Every structure is written in structure tokens, then in C-alpha cells.
Amino acid sequence: MKVGFVGLGIMGKPMAKNLLKDGHELRVFDIVPESVKEVVAAGAAAAQSAADAAAGQEVTITMLPDGPDVEAAVLGPKGVLEGAAAGSAIVDMSSISPLVAQKVGKACAAKGVHFMDAPVSGGEPKAIDGTLAIMAGGTKEVFDRAAPLFHSMGSSAILTGPVGAGNVTKLANQIMVACNIAAMGEALVLATKAGLDPEVVFDAVKGGLAGSTVLNAKAPMVIARNFKPGFRIRLHQKDLRNALLAAESMKVSLPLTSMVQQMLMSLMNNGRGDYDHSGIVTMIEDMAQVEVRKPKG
């Protein structure tokens, strides 16, 4: 397929490369020229603007940090919508507020351009492997059109509802992951302060009801004191903020999400915004004056 791709960061770069590997024709744009060069070296054509990347394409994908960036790159001057032809589709795969996805979707519809939100879960390793989980919102027609592209980038793609539903699903995912990590942090701090080896505690509980993908991925990182980011605290703070804004618009209370979002903000203010989100534990450690690690000797 002829595809435009805008936003070549940690996630966008490997996603674009996987599309090229499967034979799709790509025209790519990022505000950072070095990122464009890297994907051009893998076989894409370079665009001069987001509008230029979208011109003449069946589908244009965007993979940007947050809602304001998507609004700027799609609706702004020289944006995707300026270049996209009526009847073509824009698929935004960034994690943004569902309210912004709906706003962008409406502006696209007014110009006869289809829009779908399709955020992903899995992080950089799964973006590289082409095994992302894709949560789409929009019509079945656009979903079917984008399906071959989803197939190149992900191992699962599910249509969850109309435009905005993809991001509601992603926010649900982010709430469960964040609260799970925070609970794991409290549990491991308590066990360590009681004099137990956190690795032994992890081994004892992982096969029971408290076992989870989060626990298996994050407890070993905490015990090894490895907070190199797979997913940054500052990005998770952004996701929980978007969850709270969406919840407020529906008069839904999310007390746990609100608390963990405040913790993430405090961690950012303490210079830990670029830690992996497993670093939530460090705030609980500070409060208990104990570090979760294997006992010495």
C-alpha cells in the first residue's frame, strides 16, 4: 500500500521499518531530520512536511507524543489533513485523550477524510518485533483497509468501537498497569523492611492470584535496581492525566488512578521522569527508608 508516516520516535521508527519490510511504499516525515534519514536509509521516501507525507496516500499513520502534537501535525498548517485526499484515511497510533481523537476525527470527516485512533501496547521491543497489541476505534471499513498495515506492525488488532474507543481502551490498559506497579512497589517495600529477600517473596507469590505480566516484567527490574526506561514515568503520567480528564468529562471517579498520577508527577519533579515506570517503587522506598534489593551477604 501507499502509506504516509509522521512521527519517527522510539516507536514510529521500528513501526515504519516493519511496514517497509512487508513491501509497503512509505513517505515519511518528522521534525527531527536525523530520524527521517534513518528511515529513508531503510527504503522510505522523505517528505518535506506532514502534508507532503500524506499527499497521494491511501493511508497516513501518525505516531506522536500527545494530543496537542497530533492536533498540530494533523490539523495545523502543512499538516496531514492539508495533504490528505478525500476518501483516504488517517490512522493515529499515538496514545492521546479520546476527546482529542474525537475532535480530530470530526475535523477529518468535514473534509471527507476517514479517521481512526489505533494506539498500541507493547513498547519498543514489540514495535521492533512487529508484535504490538493494537486497539482501534473507528469504522469497520477503515479497520479493514488498515488491516494489512496492522498485520505488519502487530500480532493483534481489535476494533473496540467508534473513534475514541481505541484510546479509551489504551487508557484502561494504562490504569491497570500503573496501579499494578504501585501495588507491587508497596508490597515489595513492606516485605524488604520486614527483613525478607524480595526475590524469594516474588518467587513465592508469582504463581498465585497476585501473579501478573506486570509483576514478572517489573519485579526483577526493581530487585536489580535497573530503571532504564522501557516506558518512561513522564509518558505514564501523561496517560493517567488523559484518563482523569476523560473520566471527569463523564463524571467518573478514579481514586486509585488519581493517586498514582500524583505520585508520578512528584517523581518527575524529583528528577525521575525518565526512569522506567517500575521506578514508582523509589517513592515508596523513600517514605519507608528502605531499598528493595537482595540482602547483602
The site for ligand NAD (CB under 6 A) is made up of 6-12, 29-32, 35, 50, 63-65, 69, 72-73, 94-95, 120-121, 123-124, 230-231, 235
| 69 neighbors 94 (Cβ within 8 angstroms) | yes
Write out the three cell numbers for 246. Answer: 476523560
Minimum gap (Å) between residue 213 Cβ and ligand NAD: 14
Pairwise CA distance, residues 186 & 6, whole Å: 40
Per the CB < 8 A criterion, the answer to whether 83 and 122 are in contact is no
- Is 106 a known active-site residue? no
Q: Judge contact between 156 and 130, C-beta under 8 A.
A: no
The CB-side HSE value for 142 (13 A sphere, CA atoms) comes to 27
Q: For the CB of residue 158, give the shortest distance to ligand NAD in the complex, in Å.
A: 16
* Of residues 9 and 162, the one with the C-beta less far from ligand NAD: 9
Tell me the closest approach of the beta carbon of residue 29 to ligand NAD, in angstroms.
6
From the CB of 15, what's the least distance to ligand NAD, in Å?
9
Interatomic CA distance for residues 198 and 184, integer angstroms: 11
Q: Which is nearer to ligand NAD, 201 or 277 (CB)?
A: 277
Q: Is 64 helix (H, G, I), strand (E, B) or coil?
A: coil
Cell for 183? 501495588
Runs of H (alpha helix) within 194-254: 198-205, 213-223, 233-249
Packing angle, helices 281-288 and 165-193, rounded to 10: 30
DSSP conformational letter for 295: P
Residues in Cβ contact with 152 at an 8 Å cutoff, skipping those fewer than 6 apart: 18, 19, 21, 22, 24, 130
> One of 170, 228, 238, 251 is an active-site residue; which one?
170
Report how far residue 169's alpha carbon sits from residue 96's, in angstroms, rounded to the nearest whole number. Answer: 11
Nearer to ligand NAD, 32 or 200 (CB): 32
The residue type found at 219 is: A
Three-class SS of residue 115? strand
Instruction: Write phi, then psi, for 5 (nearest 5 degrees).
Output: -140, 120
Residue number of the CB closest to ligand NAD reads: 9
Q: Tell the smallest beta-carbon distance from residue 130 to ligand NAD (Å).
A: 14
Smallest distance, ligand NAD to C-beta of residue 27, A: 13
What is the set of active-site residues? 170
